[in-house]
Amino acid sequence: MNTLAGKHLVLGLSGGIACYKAAELCRALVKAGASVQVVMTEAAEHFMTAVTMQALSGRTVYTSQWDAREANNMAHINLSREADAIVVAPASADFLAKLLHGRADDLLSLMCLARPIESVPLLVAPAMNREMWANPATQRNVAQLKADGVHVLDVGQGDQACGETGDGRMLEAAEILEDLQAFFAPKLLAGKAVLVTAGPTYEAIDPVRGITNLSSGKMGFAIARAARQAGAEVTVIAGPVSLATPRGVRRIDVRSAQDMFNAVQAQVAQAQIFIATAAVADWRPDTQADQKIKKDGSGQTPQLAFIENPDILARVAQSERAQKGALFCVGFAAESHDLLAHATAKRLRKQVPLLVGNIGPSTFGQDDNALLLVDAKGATELPRASKQDLADDLMAEIARRL
């Protein structure tokens, strides 16, 4: 689900070095299917040219409240009435103060003040020096703006143009894009707590070797992102993967199947939905060597014995909360063949209301997938699509079943 497709956004730029990120954000919004009208303050023009923003947005940029292009000379009215939202990025400390006090001495602040509050939301991405951000005046302004219904995005942390390091950086364009997608997404799981497992597990043989699988964790992380965008409070328990944590998602990293089992047991009591996407190892070596096992030239291979790992999904699905309907469980089955038969049998064995099957070798590490949803009524195919689109579809399926 591309929640920005067809949206018309006013992108406002106030003064600050972070204006360079607004160029990337504008391009990303257009690529996501939104139309973008850029409005810049005089201060912003010291950091970014209107020509650049015009080229990226495909629209003439507005910089003055006295712009004669508008027949009624009321750009602040016309632009705000056409918008699905106004996004100010960067929003300087000065501009936040303007918003708080209702000052309107330039087109951007005038437009924000004149917007229909009930139908045109205002989102701001603060950008400033760390001391300016931490100043009590700024913090009071931010708190009051939130109370007034303005959606204030987080700030980033790191190196700043002034040479200092700390909070106050504007979020990266990709982060703002993800927040905007979440903002417009239907809140199908609002008020729900979702626990997701993702990725492979790693079962050590010795300090340098182990048993794992080819799961990349991409499907699980897409599900975590989709659940968060659907309004849920999301925790993802991740095996060893190289993926960035989705915005707004709490992450717990684990290594082995036993680690994942322990983490799930510690977290699941707070969840209403449990989605077991992880490809958990069925077995582990019964012992782990303290030192690397060396070959000695004899041609003899080490004798490994295995013990069964705990069945995380079955334990959770057969718990009292799940059996009474207080916890909705979704399992995943990564198979190599006979998907319907294996997924159906696994659903019954694990006692889950919904089992999602896929062919592992054709999806591990890929950005797309095809899913088979199996429940008590039968099976439904979700044709091959991006994992994020499939995750969005799965959230809708879960919400409908709840």
Active site residues: 162
Cis geometry, peptide bond prior to residue 90 (ω within 30 degrees of 0): yes
Q: How far is CA 99 from the centre of its chain?
A: 28
Tokens of 370: 């095809």
- Which one-letter DSSP state was computed for residue 62? B
- Report whether 40 contacts 16 (CB < 8 A): no
Buried b (16+ CB within 10 A) or exposed e, 361-372: eebbeeeebbbb
CA angle 378, 379, 381 (to 5 degrees): 160
Q: Which residue's entry shows tokens 């139309």? A: 35
- Looking at residue 316, its amino acid is V
Q: How far, in Å, CA of 383 to CA of 274, rounded?
A: 24
Concatenated DSSP letters for 146-187? HHTT-EE---EEEE-TTS-EEEEEPPPHHHHHHHHHHHHS--
- Report whether 340 contacts 352 (CB < 8 A): no
How many CA within 13 A on the CB side of residue 38?
32
Name which of 326, 335, 327, 386 is nearest 356 in CA terms.
335
Tokens of 127: 């950008």
Tokens of 33: 């299917």
Q: How far, in Å, CA of 43 to CA of 60, rounded?
A: 18
